[in-house]
Structure 1
Amino acid sequence: MLPTGRLLQQARQPLIRFLGKRSPPTHVDHTPHVHPASPMKSLPDSFASYRQKAQQHGPLNRRDLSAHVGSKPGAALGPVKPSPGEFWDRTELPSRFGRLRWTKAEIEAVESGGASLFA
């Protein structure tokens, strides 16, 4: 007896049962609208007006970019200092937040893939 032959003789029946004929909606509104979570309550008049106000790592309009970036040396833009309580580098933090030195046992465990811990 060949069980695979018997399986192939049966008609294939899908596991999913559909309830009825597919009926797409008759009308879908494709007009632009404001996202419900948006802080702005209205759409901009045009892309150009949006771009004048948009910020992404600084202003996006070209006149501001050409006036500030590259037209003056960096030192002429003024000092750049973090706010009180902010640190830009780990080395500026107190020593309790510094990196810990690895012990010889830890180095050996990493190099052996952990096998030295059980040997």
Structure 2
Amino acid sequence: MHPSLRLANARQPLIRFLGKRQWPTKPEEQHPHPFAPPEFKQHFSDFLKKFQSTPAAASSAGASAGSAKKAEGGGQVFAEFWQAPSRLWKRELEEWEIELVQSGGATRH
């Protein structure tokens, strides 16, 4: 077998794409899912107003502790985990918890 003949027969992929890749210049307008229940579709504009009025999580590490706000439900919303009480932080799992997860959640005896 001659290597030069092998290079002449370059592999052609079987899939063909039509046209150039074109990405939209601006994002699509937000709308409810087409199969959403009618009551969700009716109140979608209210949802957007609430969603846009809530502050996004602070991206900088120096977010002040004063950024915690009262939510409508009465609970607090924290931008970073260290602003929350330590009882809500992640903790090390105990051995029995690890075994319970590894057993697939079967009843512990």
* TM-score, reference length from structure 1: 0.29
The structure with more radius of gyration = 1
Instruction: Return the TM-score normalized by structure 2.
Output: 0.30
Structure with the bigger RCO (C-alpha within 8 Å, sep 6+) is: 2
